[in-house]
Structure 1
Amino acid sequence: MKKSYCPIDTFINVVKGKRKSTIILHLSQGDKRYNELVKLIPDISERMMTKQLKELEADNLINRKIFPEVPPRVEYSLTDLGKEIHPFLKGMFKGGIIFEKMIDSQES
């Protein structure tokens, strides 16, 4: 995580990426295993999903817990920071719906 000139840019730089915001929104509904996230977000490759999860973990937005089982079970959850930014992402989600309605009405 790196500070930008403007706090808005700092926020966007942390959450931008292939489905990072979507991952956070899904984890706000509860802990998820890797395969659950893959099923919830089918338009992302496994390689990209792994990359985004690692970046979110490095930025302290999600926790990764490994259970000592065979085969190993891994669960992802939001950190306190991830929970704190969730309302802002939810607002962006609602804003996206407004824009999608506008686009749909223009295409009709």
Structure 2
Amino acid sequence: MEREGEDDDIVCLDESFFIDDNYQLTTFTFGSQVLQLLCLQSASTDFDLTGQLVWPGAMLLNDYLSKNAEILQGCTVIELGSGVGITGILCSRFCSQVVLTDHNEEVLKARP
């Protein structure tokens, strides 16, 4: 049973409240490879926008791949949930073909 005035307590936030699109051009260096990407310096997991920044695990993986690039020569790579795509972009320097994927529409938006 609904009480009169009960709906007055409900607050609905538009999804744009959670979205941060203050991307910064950031330079990353892995061995002799230099990548410049637009990304956030931090992000909230509240709205599943974890793909807006570069995670420490990606930094470690890219450091390893840059030091062992020969394992990528001639390979085809698919990066699932690539977010800003830092690992896929690095792999594209060494692989014959790279496919980057993500599902979040905000993360997939084209940036200037």
TM normalised by structure 1 equals 0.23
The answer to which structure has the higher strand fraction is 2
Larger Rg: 2
The answer to which structure has the higher helix fraction is 1
